[in-house]
């Protein structure tokens, strides 16, 4: 059976990522995080810190895209888009619900959330726990995938994702300047987690990066379709190459 997912801790996670920019090593950061989280009980702070680390510092290093891009770009939207990707990658049950019921719908579509959630939780866990339904709803809203208005849940449109797309393109496929097959990009889930719906949307962003000279070459000929990046992931993360 799938493991029960925990609270999203979104604001605490934002705090943690920004806190990590004030230190240079993981251990001092982790100690400060346990000390400075807002929960009263030390045991609760330790559990919360462990959850945040699992999601956003899973390798127990500060060499993480969310931290590095916040330090370089100071862009709140970029931070939250990258956090959504990392959160969904680390929470497969929530990600499965999102892929089945949110990411395949158009922005503005109405979700019959209670029915969808109860059916999903029954299939996943063999029972419906109201606390898990509430956690799922809260996580979808915190990550920006949905919004509520007068108790009705809607799929939310993701705006200004170009930088996040550029960051993840390099982190996932181009640690050094390299050539990438477009099919490999399309076969990865990252662009869906950012909020893109169709492969054509991905191609548009690749063309945008080409116009900005982040991609130096986009080749489409016969069965060949590939892009060549201008920079390494380090340059993108640490030297603010993205406009």
Instruction: List, edge to edge, every strand of the sheet that includes 110-111.
Output: 110-111, 152-155, 146-149
Do 8 and 139 touch, CB atoms closer than 8 A?
Answer: yes
The whole-number average pLDDT for the span 126-150 is 96
Widest pairwise Cα distance in the chain: 62
**What residues are paired with 181 via a beta bridge?**
226
Do 68 and 236 touch, CB atoms closer than 8 A?
Answer: no
The whole-number average pLDDT for the span 143-157 is 94
Distance CA(227)–CA(156), nearest Å, equals: 30
Per-residue model confidence as pLDDT tens digits over 176-225: 999 999 999 999 999 999 999 999 999 999 999 999 999 999 998 888 89
**How far does Cα 220 stand from its chain's mean position?**
29
**What residues are paired with 155 via a beta bridge?**
146
Distance CA(20)–CA(16), nearest Å, equals: 6
Do 202 and 193 touch, CB atoms closer than 8 A?
Answer: no
pLDDT of residue 2: 79
Confidence of residue 1 (pLDDT cuts 50, 70, 90): low
């Amino acid at each position: 059976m799938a493991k029960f997912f925990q609270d999203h801790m979104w604001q605490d996670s934002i705090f943690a990522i920004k806190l990590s920019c004030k230190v240079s090593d993981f251990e001092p950061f982790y100690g400060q995080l346990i000390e400075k989280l807002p929960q009263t009980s030390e045991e609760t702070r330790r559990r919360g810190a462990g959850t945040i680390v699992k999601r956003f510092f899973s390798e127990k290093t500060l060499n993480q895209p969310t931290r590095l891009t916040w330090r370089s770009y100071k862009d709140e939207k970029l931070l939250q888009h990258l956090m959504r990707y990392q959160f969904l990658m680390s929470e497969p049950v929530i990600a499965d619900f999102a892929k089945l019921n949110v990411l395949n719908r158009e922005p503005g579509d109405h979700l019959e959330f209670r029915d969808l959630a109860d059916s999903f939780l029954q299939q996943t866990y063999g029972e419906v726990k109201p606390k898990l339904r509430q956690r799922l709803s809260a996580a979808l809203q915190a990550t920006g995938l949905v919004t509520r208005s007068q108790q009705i849940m809607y799929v939310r449109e993701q705006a200004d994702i170009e930088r996040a797309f550029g960051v993840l393109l390099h982190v996932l496929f181009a640690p050094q300047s390299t050539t990438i097959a477009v099919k490999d990009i399309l076969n990865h889930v990252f662009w869906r987690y950012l909020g893109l719906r169709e492969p054509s949307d991905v191609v548009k962003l690749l063309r945008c990066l080409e116009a900005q000279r982040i991609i130096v070459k986009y080749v489409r000929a016969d069965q060949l379709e590939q892009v060549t990046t201008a920079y390494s992931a380090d340059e993108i993360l640490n030297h603010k190459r993205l406009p």
